[in-house]
Amino acid sequence: MSIAESIAQVQAQIRAAEAAAGRAPKSATLIAVSKTKPLSAIQEAMAAGQVSFGENYAQELRDKANELEGQQVNGVPLDWHFIGSLQRNKVKYVVNRASLIHGVDSLRLGQAISDRASGQQGILVSVNMGGEGSKSGVPIESALALCKELAVLPGLALRGLMCIPPPEAGNWFQDLAELAAEGRRQGLPLTELSMGMSADFEDAVAHGATLVRVGSRLFGARG
């Protein structure tokens, strides 16, 4: 299947999952995860109408964003998302290029982004749902406290939460959606939910994902 065909198919599945959940059409956005994929793959996706791309490595995002600077898809500027875990010394590559930095999991990282941001840098707080030591993300118990600290930093626009759920069965998407709802009740601007990948994006949309991050289903397995 071509990249264009895969995008059309995944978009159709997202629309169907939105409808099944009683959600508005296009209330979930497809982020095409293009990490390690060449510019030609991104350009093929752009030709198929894809606007939003996700990258995990800071310099790779910088290089691709620079290469494609100023390009639009149907009149809409390209929209980059940083979805990896970000080291503070690499913040400079991503800030002001990515519309959203998904993996903020500490006040120190938020501060480093805030120091570099020239406008309002969109961020999501990443939550380590399963408490796995090996994964980045803030523990669920302290996520809202971190959100409150980040929400008041200048130059940051806190927009929501993201997670990569553990492999064990669990209601991870529902738990993240409930955490965001609780945050909103407490006055936090947590409107975006970044969850769901190739294997489970429909389930994520059913539970309220506004951003799904899909890589291998669009571009094939990564080498």
Residues contributing to the site for ligand PLP (CB under 6 A): 33, 35, 56, 83, 164, 197-199, 213-217
Shortest CB 26 distance to ligand PLP, Å: 20
Nearer residue to ligand PLP within complex by CB, 138 or 164: 164
The neighbour count for residue 167, using CB atoms within 10 Å, is 7
Q: Please give the angle made by the CA atoms of 57, 74 and 216, to the nearest 5 degrees.
A: 35
Nearer residue to ligand PLP within complex by CB, 90 or 148: 90
Q: Classify residue 72 by burial, with Cβ atoms within 10 Å: 0-12, 13-18, 19+.
A: exposed
The residue number with the shortest CB distance to ligand PLP is 215
Torsion, Cα of 210, 215, 218, 221 (10° steps): -160
Nearer residue to ligand PLP within complex by CB, 168 or 185: 168
Report the 3 state secondary structure along 165-191: CCCCCCCHHHHHHHHHHHHHHCCCCCC
Shortest CB 70 distance to ligand PLP, Å: 26
Shortest CB 162 distance to ligand PLP, Å: 8
Q: Hey, is 42 helix, strand or coil? A: helix
Q: Hey, is 133 helix, strand or coil? A: coil
In the beta sheet, which residues pair with residue 100? Answer: 81, 122
Nearer residue to ligand PLP within complex by CB, 44 or 153: 44
Residue-wise DSSP of 77-89? E-EEEE-S---GG
Nearer residue to ligand PLP within complex by CB, 18 or 200: 200
Shortest CB 167 distance to ligand PLP, Å: 12
Shortest CB 75 distance to ligand PLP, Å: 27
Residue-wise DSSP of 54-80? EESSHHHHHHHHHHTTT-EETTEE-EE
Shortest CB 116 distance to ligand PLP, Å: 22
Nearer residue to ligand PLP within complex by CB, 140 or 197: 197
